[in-house]
C-alpha cells in the first residue's frame, strides 16, 4: 500500500492504553493526564479486528505501545492473536520495562519478537527525576529479563536532554560494548505539555556523535538490527551492540516514513504531528466489517502529509504523547 507520495506504508503502531505507571517530564504534566474512560478505549478484540484488516492492506509490522502497554490486562493474549494473523511478520513492543520481569518469557512465547525499552539515564536520582516516580533498578531488571527471554534485538531508547543527561551519552553508549544492546539516541521533540519545557534543551544528533567520537573513538557504520526503523546505526570497535541516532528534528526522515498510528481510543493518525485522524472505533461498534475498515485505513493513508511540522511546535491541544502511542 502506497501513499500519495509513493511511500510504502507497512507499519502500524498501536497504542493499547493511555495509562502509564510513570510521569516522564517530556511526555506528560506532573499531575499526569486525565485517563480516558474504559468504555472509550478500544477493546482487545477490536484491536485484533483492525490489525486483521490492516494486514489485508499490506501492513506487516505491528508495534504495541501506550501509555505503558504492560499495564493493559490481556496483552499476552493480544500478542498471540496478532501473531496468528496472516501477513503480520513482526510484532514489537515499546515499554519502560518496569513490569517486564514478570512477563518477558510469556510474551516471547506468545509471539513477541523484540522490544524497545526507555532508558534516559544511568543514575538513580536522575531516573526518578525524569520519570517523577520510577525505579531504575526495576528498569534494569526488565532489560535483563528481555535479554534472557530471547527478545532480540533489545533496543534502549535514550532521549538526550541538554543540561540533564547530555553528560551521560558516553556511559550509555558503553553499554553496547559487552552486551547485545542497541542504544538509540533520540532528539528531544516538543510534544504536548512538554512543548515549552523542551525549549533550550534540544541536543542535535551531530553533537552527540561528536561527543562519542571524542570520548570513545571512531563510530563505524553498522548494519541495522532487526526491525529497521528511522535510526542510522554505528558500532564501536568490537562492540556486541550498536548505537543508533534518531534525527526527527535536525534531519527528518519523513521521505521514507512507512507508518500509521492507532490511538487507544480508535483514531487512525497518519502522522504524529498532524491532528487529523480517521475514526475506526465508532464504525466498528456500529457493525463495520473488514471491507469498511480497509476503506477507512486507505482514507488515512491518502491524507498522510509529505512531512511533519515539528519546528512549528505542538499543535494538538487535546492530547499528549502518552495518548498517541509515541
Q: Does residue 3 form part of some domain?
A: no
Report whether pLDDT(85) > 90. Answer: yes
The pLDDT, as a whole number, for residue 307 is: 79
Mean pLDDT of 301-321: 68
Of the pLDDT bands very low, low, confident and very high (cuts 50, 70, 90), residue 200 is confident
Report whether pLDDT(320) > 90. Answer: no
Q: Does residue 2 form part of some domain?
A: no
Of the pLDDT bands very low, low, confident and very high (cuts 50, 70, 90), residue 108 is very high
Q: Does residue 1 form part of some domain?
A: no
Report whether pLDDT(308) > 80. Answer: no
pLDDT in tens, 206-219: 999 999 999 999 99
Number of domains observed in the structure of the chain: 1
Q: Does residue 50 form part of some domain?
A: yes
Mean pLDDT of 118-130: 96
Q: Does residue 268 form part of some domain?
A: yes
pLDDT in tens, 12-47: 999 999 999 998 887 777 766 677 899 999 999 999
pLDDT in tens, 137-175: 999 999 999 999 999 999 999 999 999 999 999 999 999
Mean pLDDT of 63-87: 97
Q: Please tell me the pTM assigned to this model.
A: 0.92
Q: Containing domain of residue 56, as a range? A: 11-323
Closest by CA position to 277, among listed 248, 305, 306, 238: 305
Report whether pLDDT(229) > 80. Answer: no
Q: Does residue 4 form part of some domain?
A: no
Which CATH number characterizes residue 235's domain? 3.20.20.70
Order of strands, sheet of 11-15, starting from the edge strand that comes earlier in the sequence: 220-221, 232-235, 242-246, 181-187, 154-160, 114-118, 90-95, 61-65, 11-15, 259-262, 267-269, 278-279
The pLDDT, as a whole number, for residue 198 is: 67
pLDDT in tens, 258-269: 999 999 999 999
Q: Which residues pair with 94 in a beta bridge?
A: 116
Report whether pLDDT(310) > 90. Answer: no
Q: Does residue 6 form part of some domain?
A: no
Amino acid at each position: 500500500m502506497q501513499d500519495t507520495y509513493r511511500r510504502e506504508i507497512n507499519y502500524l503502531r498501536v497504542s493499547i492504553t493511555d495509562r502509564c505507571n510513570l510521569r516522564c517530564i517530556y511526555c506528560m504534566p506532573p499531575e499526569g493526564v486525565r485517563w480516558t474512560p474504559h468504555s472509550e478505549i478500544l477493546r482487545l478484540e477490536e484491536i485484533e479486528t483492525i490489525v486483521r484488516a490492516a494486514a489485508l492492506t499490506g501492513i506487516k509490522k505491528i508495534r504495541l505501545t501506550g501509555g505503558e502497554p504492560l499495564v493493559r490486562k490481556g496483552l499476552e493474549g493480544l500478542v498471540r492473536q496478532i501473531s496468528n494473523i496472516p501477513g503480520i511478520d513482526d510484532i514489537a513492543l515499546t515499554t519502560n520495562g518496569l513490569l517486564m520481569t514478570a512477563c518477558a518469557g510469556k510474551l516471547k512465547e506468545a509471539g513477541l519478537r523484540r522490544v524497545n525499552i526507555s532508558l534516559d539515564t544511568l543514575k538513580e536520582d536522575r531516573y526518578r527525576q525524569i520519570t517523577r516516580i520510577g525505579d531504575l533498578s526495576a528498569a534494569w531488571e526488565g532489560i535483563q529479563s528481555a535479554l534472557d527471554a530471547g527478545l532480540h534485538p533489545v533496543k534502549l531508547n535514550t532521549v538526550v536532554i541538554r543540561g540533564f543527561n547530555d553528560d551521560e551519552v558516553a556511559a550509555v553508549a558503553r553499554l553496547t560494548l559487552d552486551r547485545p544492546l542497541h542504544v538509540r539516541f533520540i532528539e528531544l521533540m516538543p510534544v504536548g505539555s512538554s512543548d515549552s519545557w523542551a525549549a533550550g534543551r534540544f541536543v542535535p544528533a551531530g553533537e552527540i556523535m561528536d561527543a562519542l567520537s571524542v570520548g570513545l573513538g571512531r563510530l563505524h557504520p553498522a548494519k541495522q538490527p532487526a526491525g529497521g526503523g528511522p535510526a542510522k546505526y554505528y558500532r564501536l570497535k568490537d562492540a556486541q551492540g550498536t548505537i543508533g541516532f534518531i534525527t526527527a528534528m535536525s534531519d527528518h526522515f519523513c521521505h521514507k516514513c512507512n507508518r500509521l498510528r492507532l490511538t487507544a481510543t480508535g483514531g487512525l493518525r497518519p502522522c504524529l504531528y498532524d491532528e487529523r485522524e480517521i475514526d475506526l472505533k465508532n464504525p466498528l461498534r456500529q457493525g463495520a466489517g473488514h471491507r469498511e475498515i480497509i476503506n477507512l485505513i486507505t482514507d488515512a493513508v491518502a491524507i498522510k502529509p509529505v512531512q511533519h511540522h515539528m519546528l512549528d511546535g505542538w499543535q494538538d491541544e487535546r492530547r499528549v504523547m502518552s495518548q498517541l502511542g509515541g
